[in-house]
Amino acid sequence: MQNEHYELALVMPVYNEEACIAVVISKWLDILVGLGVNFRIYLINDGSKDSTKTRLEQAKFDSRVMVINKPNSGHGPTILQGYRLAVTSADWVFQTDSDDEMPPDYFPILWEKRAAYGALFGVRAARRQGVGRHFISAVSRLAVRLLFGRGVIDVNTPYRLMKSGLIKGIVTKIPDDTFAPNIIISGVLAAARVSIYNHNVPHERRKTGTVSIVKWKLWKSAMKALCQTLHFRVKNSPSVLVG
């Protein structure tokens, strides 16, 4: 199983999701098995402080689900770790979060359209989050447009399907401590003029768990993400990074 090559590798960072993680994974397994996809799921537990690790150990998942437990390093570095595993084991990489805010039901739409595109993004429709997060998302989108160009509507969406060959060079170049690597990936793909598809996916307010970044930490983190994105753009050429 370790050396097998897959059509799809699903990357899911997990943090303090004891109440819903088993259900979320079961939903994704149902969708992927139903599509007849040859897949691998990487569940990366980012040092959860609740009983998430125990729930993952007790759950009877499909054998194609790999659980990786690691010390806490943050959402961004955890995603990067997953991407670096995924690009070497599958033709396509899909990243989604473990909070069940974006349902797997819309994944078949992206999967069925993949032949015509290099990257397909789920745009968080009717996003039910605070004004602060909406504002930060708008600033991030504007920054990406100015630094890289247009193409991706929701630049930090945690619902994205991408060709491994296109992002392999990007994810290996992004620094390990990057707060929001998805913003950088979106920008590089847009700048390299990769064929991009955007599709609205309903976004629901989380029903379980807690938001890990709140209030002033949110603004501090947003500033960090923008600075890291700017620094990456200055140091790297998108046309060189995209395979």
**SS3 readout for the chain:** CCCCCEEEEEEEEECCCCCCHHHHHHHHHHHHHHHCCCEEEEEEEECCCCCHHHHHHHCCCCCCEEEEEECCCCHHHHHHHHHHHHCCCEEEEEEECCCCCCCHHHHHHHHHHHHHCCEEEEEEECCCCCHHHHHHHHHHHHHHHHHCCCCCCCCCCCEEEEEHHHHHHHHHHCCCCCCCHHHHHHHHHHHCCCCEEEEEEECCCCCCCCCCCCHHHHHHHHHHHHHHHHHHHHHCCHHHHCC
Burial grade of 167 (CB within 10 A; 0-12, 13-18, 19 or more): buried
Across 38-47, average pLDDT: 97
Q: Which domain holds residue 65?
A: 6-241
Give pLDDT, residue 4.
87
- Residue 206 in any domain: the answer is yes
Structure tokens at 203: 């976004």
Beta-carbon count within 10 A of 68 CB: 15
Across 213-239, average pLDDT: 79
Predicted confidence (pLDDT) at residue 210 exceeds the cutoff of 60: no
CATH code assigned at 200: 3.90.550.10
Give the highest mean pLDDT range of 103-107, 207-211, 222-226: 103-107
Across 183-195, average pLDDT: 94
Give pLDDT, residue 229.
87
Higher pLDDT, 145 or 115: 115
Give pLDDT, residue 216.
58
- Residue 10 in any domain: the answer is yes
Predicted confidence (pLDDT) at residue 169 exceeds the cutoff of 90: yes
Predicted confidence (pLDDT) at residue 161 exceeds the cutoff of 90: yes
Lowest mean pLDDT among 45-59, 204-218, 224-238: 204-218
Give pLDDT, residue 226.
84
Model confidence at 143, in pLDDT bands (50, 70, 90)? Answer: confident
Across 117-142, average pLDDT: 76
Across 33-50, average pLDDT: 97
**What is the chain's length?**
243
Is the Cβ–Cβ distance between 226 and 140 less than 8 Å? yes
Is the Cβ–Cβ distance between 66 and 42 less than 8 Å? yes
- Residue 1 in any domain: the answer is no
Model confidence at 128, in pLDDT bands (50, 70, 90)? Answer: low
Predicted confidence (pLDDT) at residue 69 exceeds the cutoff of 90: yes
Predicted confidence (pLDDT) at residue 131 exceeds the cutoff of 70: no
Model confidence at 123, in pLDDT bands (50, 70, 90)? Answer: very high
Give the highest mean pLDDT range of 115-129, 162-176, 202-216: 162-176
Nearest alpha-carbon partner for 195 in 94, 116, 90, 87: 116
pLDDT digit string, tens, across residues 18-28? 999 999 999 99
Predicted confidence (pLDDT) at residue 132 exceeds the cutoff of 60: no
Q: How many domains does the chain have?
A: 1
Predicted confidence (pLDDT) at residue 94 exceeds the cutoff of 60: yes
Across 204-215, average pLDDT: 58
Structure tokens at 227: 């600075």
Q: How distant, in Å, are the alpha carbons of 8, 179, 201 from that of 29?
A: 12, 28, 19
Q: What value does the mean pLDDT of the chain take? A: 89
- Residue 100 in any domain: the answer is yes
